[in-house]
Structure 1
Amino acid sequence: MSTPFFTDVGSPGQPVVVFLHGVGGGRHGWAPQQAHLSVLGWRSLAWDMPGYGASAMLTPYDFEHLAMAMWQMMDAAHIRQAVLVGHSMGAMVALQAWTQMPERITAMVLAASSPAFGNSDGDFQKQFLAQRLAPLEAGKTMGDIADKLIPSMAIPGGDAAKLHQAHQSMSAVPQDTYRAALHALVQFEQRAALPTITIPVLCLAAEHDRTAPPAVMERMTQKISGARYACLAGAGHLLHYEQPEAFNVELEKFLKDVKP
């Protein structure tokens, strides 16, 4: 397994945040957050998940091995412990990582996500896969998919300029990676892990998120002892792209309480 590529902002010795993007994302999508944290005295890593950007593909492509790749990245950066901040599928990687090496995670921010998707044999999962993969089967490009999917995931009538980076990231995802990530996604199941979490957690929802609705995130919060819940107004599923300043405010408030 080769080490994933990552952007490293900050200095050795500072407390560390690791940013984990979603299915259509990439390391560049966290640039506003990395810049903000650097001013606050935090070091941060933002990876290209295996198969994305400059990171090699992974086989098998499942959450167990994605979390292992994250540990490998942290080892390469000589980081023992970190706060994990995950968006959507990235938050699922964070939950998976908790089940492997909880002693290496000091806190987690789970944004616009859920503790389970289901299994590949469920009707909902089959319909989801068929719907998301249909454009590729019809010969469409990832850019074509981004044209339709990005606006549908954001708040209706939102600022298109703020979604430019999200569109660029999704357009650049290799088709094989996108297929593999979706197949992994529908098999994710970590509901049983929630009551075992003993570190500070922020579950961050978005008011207009139809992919991971606030009600789903509220239920997840209730199953994690001591977890905090916050909901960003005026944002959809792509909350850190749509409302980067508001996202940073919630992140900063949380990190103030967990900074060593």
Structure 2
Amino acid sequence: MPVFSPYAERLSRLPIERHEVLVRGGTTAYWVYGPSLDVEGVPTVIAVHGFRGEHHGLEPVLAYLPELRVIAPDLPGFGETAPIPGRTHDLDEYAGWLQEFAAAVAPGAVILGHSFGSIVASAAVAGGLETPRLVLINPIGAPALEGPKGVMTRLAVFYYDLGAKLPAKLGTALLRSKLIVRVMSLTMAKTKDPVLRRFIHDQHDTYFSDFADRDVLRDAFVASVSNDVRAYAPQIDVPTLLVAAQQDDITPIDAERYLATLFPNAELVEIAGVGHLIHYETPAEAAGAIRRFLRVPVARGQ
């Protein structure tokens, strides 16, 4: 039985187009939400999703931003984007990919990253990707192994190591285990709303295992827990918005407050009652913060 999406009606109003582009020797699939690229005067945002996700994860936020044109790619090795041939999918590779992707499809766009995407976006901008503004949702502002769920992270390290070392069929089955995915989903969700919880779990069930192979997954996981935004913040001089959750288990809110001080020009918006799933649980609040930051008027009827 299909699971009800609280955001389906809003999302249905948005034009959505699928495209492909050749980047770093591989084909990147991406989706354009809102006005097409030939409509002038509409702000363009490139939105980078988090670890194990793909472009669908940010759709609830986009549903509340019809005023913008949002380009949402699947990261290499996830969703409909194949791995980059002959490359290790580490942070340098993902940052280089984002720089080339932006240059190919929307030079000068605002860059947005969620979770692992916040690290990729920050590394790319610090490395020379030109953007007028940077938006980070649930930014990774501290080492994952040192957060309040450090023990869980260490268990995750063991899990991904085991998945990489077991025989291919068995290891891949472990990494795509529905039970493990559900445990991850239950750990991150903070809402008590049963309808919203069912939607969140269905999203993770549907998209969290949509990775190309276990090698890519292992590379991306290592990149996600071995890096954080702090290393890049001082090098980013464009106006930056951090949308942080007061109950985030991955980066505590005190660490997010400190992270904001490392940027030359940053604004921190805190959302109460939510954890690492701002994009699912409080997308309207996140969209409102983004709209104000970009100084975009509210669309009529929204």
Q: Which range, TM-score by smaller chain?
A: 0.7 to 0.9
Q: 1:11 aligns with which of 36, 61, 65?
A: 36
Computed over aligned residues only, the root mean square deviation of the Cα atoms, in angstroms, reads 2.7
Question: What do residues 185-233 of structure 1 show as CA deviations (whole Å, max 9, x unaligned)?
Answer: 2332553432222111111111211011111111100111231111112
Q: 1:127 aligns with which of 144, 147, 154?
A: 154
Map 1:24-35 onto structure 2 (within 5 A): 24-35=52-63
Question: What do residues 105-159 of structure 1 show as CA deviations (whole Å, max 9, x unaligned)?
Answer: 111111212245389xxx9899355344277467533433211101101216453
Question: What do residues 55-108 of structure 1 show as CA deviations (whole Å, max 9, x unaligned)?
Answer: 11131111111122123322332x111111111100000111112224x21111
1:209 aligns with 2:234: no
Query: Paired residue for 1:160?
Result: 197
Q: Conserved in 2, the CA contact under 8 Å of 1:3 and 1:76?
A: no
TM-score (norm 2): 0.74
Distance 1:175 1:3, change over 3 A: closer
Deviates more, 1:66-75 or 1:138-147: 138-147
Query: Paired residue for 1:94?
Result: 121
1:169 aligns with 2:204: no
Query: Paired residue for 2:226?
Result: 187
Distance 2:187 2:213 in 1: 20
Question: Which structure 2 segments of 5+ residues have no match?
Answer: 1-23, 298-302
Q: Conserved in 1, the CA contact under 8 Å of 2:144 and 2:250?
A: no
State the identity as a percent: 26
Map 1:99-118 onto structure 2 (within 5 A): 99-102=126-129, 104-115=130-141, 117=143
Distance 2:155 2:101 in 1: 31
Matched residue type, 2:211: V
Query: Paired residue for 1:54?
Result: 80
TM-score (norm 1): 0.85
Distance 2:209 2:153 in 1: 24
Distance 2:61 2:124 in 1: 22
Distance 1:182 1:32 in 2: 24
Distance 2:258 2:74 in 1: 30
Query: Paired residue for 2:94?
Result: 66
Q: Conserved in 2, the CA contact under 8 Å of 1:155 and 1:234?
A: yes
Distance 2:132 2:89 in 1: 26
Q: 1:252 aligns with which of 286, 291, 296?
A: 291
Query: Paired residue for 1:230?
Result: 269
Query: Paired residue for 1:146?
Result: 181
Q: Conserved in 1, the CA contact under 8 Å of 2:52 and 2:208?
A: yes
Question: What do residues 17-65 of structure 1 show as CA deviations (whole Å, max 9, x unaligned)?
Answer: 111111121101122333333x31x211111100001111131111111
Distance 2:225 2:246 in 1: 24
Distance 1:174 1:148 in 2: 22
Deviates more, 1:159-168 or 1:136-145: 136-145
Matched residue type, 1:5: A
Distance 1:22 1:195, change over 3 A: same
Q: Conserved in 2, the CA contact under 8 Å of 1:142 and 1:174?
A: no
What SS class does the counterpart of residue 5 from structure 1 fall into? Answer: strand
